[in-house]
A and B are shown apart, each in its own frame.
Chain A
């Protein structure tokens, strides 16, 4: 199945080649979890501070178990703030 992977700020270098506007559609197996995808891209877990599934925040403790669905958007940022 396909999901949209979005990596921003300091996580940008972990995007696969061909990503446009910090995002790219990638193929993942059924029942793939959030951390499986982020680990596969080499994103250090310490840098995955803010992780969203379809815009909803996923706390660190749930990322090993949270399963992605077809068409989901998975977005991640290192620690950031501003205003």
Chain B
């Protein structure tokens, strides 16, 4: 119950699709989605495999509550060994695709091998077929989705696909579903492209069964009421979206600016939520058209935007003049503050292109920031880049979004990501990330806990693996001082473990601004066989965290990779509340290892593994 109980295994080398039963013992130990798919992956691949080799596998996975009537029940994840990082990768997406997969009767789809020619997978409930995708190879996510729906004469088909970037090996290609929802980070789309898999198309009409329907409806309705009554999930997020953070984080002195050279951006107010609502003089409209919700979501934080038709980025490109997926905070930061660009319309254009061609806007923007610093330092020349590339250049940002999306010109170099790009030009210290993945939108000097969360994140630098910002800035569940490193190792561990469970449920992590695991447990308990409590969910989260860690250790990562760039450890913040401060990682990390039950070298002890059943 809740789980469909079936896996679709697609061997791309052989061109076969086969159904197999879900391992229910693992489902009870790892729940679903992130946890359960990671268990399958680590059991089935060599941790040292080249991420782009046919021997790597790629799993699309739902959680037990995906497709149910619970709020935010549209989530699915893409799990693989990441092309950007070489670490475990798990990228989570909303939209409607996950719901469709579950309603077609599948908990997950495992892709193995490599197709000899471009294909897409078409699934209609029990029927799965690999179709020729040669007509779609070389086309964008947007065109692919439209064409596949036309191929089958069904506009209700849900599609997840890669853009040209994923075909060309851009290291941070996404898998984009429903036009502008993305499994965005770590290069999961690059792995999909390496398998000659252009898209997955789904149509599901089977429904999802739960253990106790009456109790489940009661539990999910009560949880929805908690979301509605909470001022953040009931009012703040639908009205302002995540972009409300731009001015908050800037005021806090934790907004990384111009490749982390500074921690406050003078243009923050030009690119945040308030700016998106300002009516433009040119056309009498605001950048923000409306908010939007994913499947079953009662929060609706999504943004739909329209670019000023007179703006240089679209004036001769009518295909970008429509309303489409607008800026979320992380994208706006990376495309804006990280590059010093304060042109909201240019950022929106770059974001549209990231959606259209399937590139992660966080890594893209951060890599542009690193390239701009190298350009200003004279390491890169206009001859090499084909354009002036100074901080704040909105046109360069837009041009490079187009070039990177299709892997052309200097865009192919940006497509390496900042780690490989800066190494290539002899300035590795200018890559702002961990384990090869670029930081998101918070500075570890001004917000100490998130620095530790970045350093220890299993998929490389990431805010979503342990979002301590909730506590350190917003006061959820309790306010802690962002400048104080005391107590942060325990805070990071608590967030990491709880989030791993949430990411395995089929629901959205944004519910945790109002819910605790005590709100998840009754819903899971009413839907799934067995007895489910908040304590059990937390245990599962810790098990997942250690499973991922073990994979990374076996892949060759060590404690030395739980590190931050020297800029955050030695160059003090120049302004704001954190002026004079660097990250206290060196004092936080040993305490974190101890709390985790790991050796001083960051390896889970036998006692810890035994306690977690690993």
Contact = CB atoms under 8 A, between A and B. Distances in A.
A73 B243 CA distance: 21
B242 A78 contact: no
A8 B231 CA distance: 15
Contacts of A66: none
A57 B479 contact: yes
B240 A81 contact: no
B66 to A, nearest CB: 21
Nearest to B442: A83
Contact of B247 (A8, A10, A49, A54): A8
A77 interface: yes
B140 to A, nearest CB: 28
Contacts of A75: 247, 251
B329 A8 contact: no
Contact of B248 (A12, A21, A54, A77): A77
Interface string A36-68: 000000000000011010111101000000000
A73 B576 CA distance: 11
A6 B240 contact: no
Contact of B577 (A8, A10, A21, A55): A55
A9 interface: yes
Contact of A80 (B245, B463, B479): B245
Nearest to B230: A79
Q: Is the interface of B mostly helix, strand, loop or mixed?
A: helix
A22 interface: yes
Nearest to A23: B269
B463 A83 contact: yes
B556 interface: no
A70 B467 CA distance: 35
B244 A55 contact: no
A8 B576 CA distance: 18
Contact of A82 (B237, B270, B576): B237
Interface in B298-345: 301, 328-330
A57 to B, nearest CB: 7
A9 B274 contact: yes
Interface stretch (B56-64, B281-289, B468-476): B468-476
- Of A57, A59, A75, A78, the most chain B CB neighbours within 10 A belong to A57
Contacts of B245: 80, 82-83
Contacts of B469: 83
B252 A81 contact: no
A78 B231 contact: yes
Given A9-B274, A22-B274, A82-B329, A50 B474 contact: yes
Contacts of B235: 10, 78-79
Contact of B329 (A10, A50, A83): A83
B239 interface: yes
A6 B247 CA distance: 10
A82 B241 contact: yes
Nearest to B469: A83
B464 interface: yes
- Of A21, A78, A79, the most chain B CB neighbours within 10 A belong to A79
A50 B243 CA distance: 16
B232 interface: yes
B236 interface: yes
Contacts of B84: none
B486 to A, nearest CB: 16
A73 B575 CA distance: 14
A52 B239 contact: no
A78 B236 contact: yes
Nearest to A54: B577
Interface string B269-281: 1100110000000
Nearest to A73: B251
Contacts of B467: 83
A10 B253 CA distance: 22
B269 A21 contact: yes
A52 B513 contact: no
A80 B236 contact: yes
Contacts of B475: 49-50
A82 B508 CA distance: 12
Contacts of A81: 232, 236-237, 470, 474, 476, 510, 513
A22 B463 contact: no
Nearest to B328: A82
Nearest to B250: A55
A22 B328 CA distance: 20
Contact of B269 (A22, A52, A56, A82): A22
B427 to A, nearest CB: 30
A8 B273 CA distance: 9
Nearest to B268: A21
A9 B239 contact: yes
A52 B244 CA distance: 15
Contact of B474 (A9, A55, A80): A80
List the 3 shortest-distance A-B pairs measured between CB atoms, nearest first. Answer: A82-B242, A79-B231, A55-B577
Interface of A: 6, 8-10, 12, 21-23, 49-50, 52, 54-57, 59, 73, 75, 77-83
18 contacts: A8-B274, A9-B239, A9-B273, A12-B274, A50-B474, A52-B251, A55-B253, A57-B481, A73-B251, A78-B235, A78-B236, A79-B232, A80-B474, A81-B470, A81-B474, A81-B476, A81-B510, A82-B245
Given A8-B247, A52-B251, A77-B248, 10 more contacts: A9-B236, A9-B274, A21-B269, A21-B270, A22-B269, A23-B269, A50-B474, A52-B252, A81-B513, A83-B469
